[in-house]
Amino acid sequence: MKPVIALVGRPNVGKSTLFNRLTKTRDAIVADFAGLTRDRHYGNGKHGKQEFIVVDTGGFEPDATSGIYKEMARQTRQAVAEADVVLFVVDARAGVSAQDHEIANYLRRLGKPCVLVANKAEGVKQGGSLVEFFELGLGEVLPVSASHGQGMREMLDVALRPLDLGDADTLDAQAEEGVIGLAVAGRPNVGKSTLINTWLGEERLVAFDLPGTTRDAIRVPFERDGQKFELIDTAGLRRKGKVFEAIEKFSVVKTLQAIGSSGVVLLLIDAVDGVTDQDAHIAGFILESGRAVVIAVNKWDAVDAYQREIVKRSLETRLGFLKYATVHLISAKKRQGLGPLWESIVQAHRAANCKMPTPLLTRLLLEAVQFQTPQKNGMYRPKLRYAHQGGMNPPVIVVHGNSLEHVTDAYKRFLEGRFRKEFNLVGTPLRIEMKTSSNPYADK
């Protein structure tokens, strides 16, 4: 499982800026005033080969008793509860405040691994300026600058050091044993538990016509036609404004971890409700995680011809970025369409772990260039020379050559189509990386 890092601190110390830096995104809104972040925000980060989940929180006021600040404090407590390590962020320029002391007292009582991070430390001398933070009683103070990217590597080294990361190779271990980890993900009440119960032939999981019945990621071993699976029933992911109970909020990180550690994700969509914003959000996280995916539209027997046509169109428009995934129309309750679903799951897993020989990749690359030359950019025309495989699950193809920074996204999609067709890469994302050779005479 991916470790979870929670960012905690009083308002306006730069937690969201640090979140964006760790996830290499701009998902968290950043502005120069306090109280902008009010809900928990999840994202993926990577330090070397170690992947982790980052949780951004709003400004923490442990003693808040009413209004929005009480709700923000409850959100932060929940983030700390589900985290493996806490980054307590303080303002290196503003110094220690009474609120910092309150937060430090709360974190010390919990006894959870905690790292004290002094943000906005660009240009601040590490000696006298930071010594006052030692009075918080949380040990060493790490100076960083989230906006400039200073001190990130050292901070993550310290944060991840006390964690037991022995499960980092879970996917590799599953591949060696021949077990396919299958996570069933989707919004609440789309029939995830009902589908797994139908596969197992018994009421193994609680299935009830009420959103939020499943509160944790539940793993069940299963075998079909000699192929071993580990079925993972995840808690439903719903829109932030619709999540009220703290126990259900706790399920979110479990679901994200289950998706990240699975081999294939089955994205379940409710035919009655159609493709919603939350379906697109979950699909985006699956894509970001690089997991192979199969889409199943459940309760297909419960809608008429008009609704079926609307669902098919919304799949093309709202989930167009998953066009490589196979779509199945099923009914878990009536056991309709489940046979072909298994074939697509196995095919997606096989595609995600496909081995692509370097000679064949290079030949396909040169044939593609001969068929369609990359577009010239000013005085530069990209020259693609050879390709090799850079990873699996998802497959990564590394292309080497000159001036490859000028290769357009459209041309990358063209190459992706050629590679997908040759290796039958159905159900898995494909990443193409461009590596430009350095000019040995550039400095002469």
d(CA 224, CA 205): 19
* Shared-domain flag, residues 110 and 174: no
Among 318, 352, 386, give the residue marking a domain's end.
352
**How does pLDDT run across 371-403, given as a tens digit for each residue?**
999 988 777 888 999 999 999 889 999 999 998
Among 337, 352, 367, give the residue marking a domain's end.
352
* Shared-domain flag, residues 154 and 174: no
Could you tell me which residue, 125 or 323, shows the higher pLDDT?
323
397 located within any domain: yes
* Shared-domain flag, residues 94 and 230: no
* Shared-domain flag, residues 140 and 251: no
Could you tell me the CATH number of the domain that includes residue 389? 3.30.300.20
Written as six digits, the tokens of 100 are 């910092």
Alpha carbon separation from 218 to 16, 205, 206 (Å, rounded): 32, 9, 11
Residue 205 has pLDDT above 50, yes or no: no
DSSP letters for 346-378: HHHHHHHT----HHHHHHHHHHHHHHSPPPPBT
Could you tell me the CATH number of the domain that includes residue 160? 3.40.50.300
* Shared-domain flag, residues 192 and 205: yes
* Shared-domain flag, residues 316 and 174: yes
The region of weakest confidence among 239-248, 263-272, 408-417 is 239-248
**Average pLDDT taken over every residue of the chain:** 80
DSSP reduced 3-state for 323: coil
- Which helix H or strand E contains 95, and what residues bound it? none
Task: Provide mean pLDDT across the span 316-340.
Answer: 91
Written as six digits, the tokens of 49 are 């080969």
What is the pLDDT, as a whole number, of residue 68? 56
383 located within any domain: yes
What is the pLDDT, as a whole number, of residue 264? 93
- Which helix H or strand E contains 56, and what residues bound it? strand 50-56
d(CA 119, CA 142): 8
* Shared-domain flag, residues 269 and 318: yes
**How does pLDDT run across 243-261, given as a tens digit for each residue?**
433 333 445 676 777 787 7
* Shared-domain flag, residues 330 and 396: no
Could you tell me which residue, 7 or 258, shows the higher pLDDT?
7
Query: With pLDDT > 70 as the criterion, what percentage of the chain qualifies?
Result: 79
Long-range contacts of 167-176, Cβ-Cβ distance < 8 Å, separation of 24 or more: 167/1, 167/261, 168/49, 168/50, 168/51, 170/1, 170/261, 171/261, 171/263, 171/393, 174/230, 174/263, 175/263, 175/353, 175/393
* Shared-domain flag, residues 149 and 288: no
What is the pLDDT, as a whole number, of residue 388? 95
| Band of residue 100 on the pLDDT scale cut at 50, 70, 90 | confident
**Residues β-bridged to residue 329:** 297
DSSP reduced 3-state for 105: helix
- DSSP E strand boundaries for 274-395: 292-298, 327-329, 383-391
Among 119, 134, 164, give the residue marking a domain's end.
164
443 located within any domain: no
337 located within any domain: yes
38 located within any domain: yes
308 located within any domain: yes
What is the pLDDT, as a whole number, of residue 2? 79
What is the pLDDT, as a whole number, of residue 356? 94
Its pTM surpasses 0.85: no
Q: Which domain holds residue 363?
A: 358-436
Residue 111 has pLDDT above 90, yes or no: no
Task: Provide mean pLDDT across the span 355-378.
Answer: 92
Residue 77 has pLDDT above 60, yes or no: yes
Number of domains in the chain: 3
| Band of residue 211 on the pLDDT scale cut at 50, 70, 90 | very low
Task: Provide mean pLDDT across the span 72-90.
Answer: 81
Residue 148 has pLDDT above 80, yes or no: yes
* Shared-domain flag, residues 179 and 159: no
d(CA 367, CA 61): 61
186 located within any domain: yes
| Sign of the four-CA dihedral 270, 276, 278, 283 | positive
Alpha carbon separation from 16 to 156, 305, 415 (Å, rounded): 16, 46, 36
* Shared-domain flag, residues 369 and 423: yes
**How does pLDDT run across 415-433, given as a tens digit for each residue?**
999 999 999 999 999 999 9
Task: Provide mean pLDDT across the span 160-170.
Answer: 61
* Shared-domain flag, residues 369 and 395: yes
Which residue is associated with the tokens 């490859």? 404
**How does pLDDT run across 51-70, given as a tens digit for each residue?**
888 888 877 765 555 555 56
Written as six digits, the tokens of 192 are 């995830």
d(CA 174, CA 161): 25
Alpha carbon separation from 37 to 21, 79, 83, 101 (Å, rounded): 16, 14, 18, 21
Residue 217 has pLDDT above 60, yes or no: no
21 located within any domain: yes
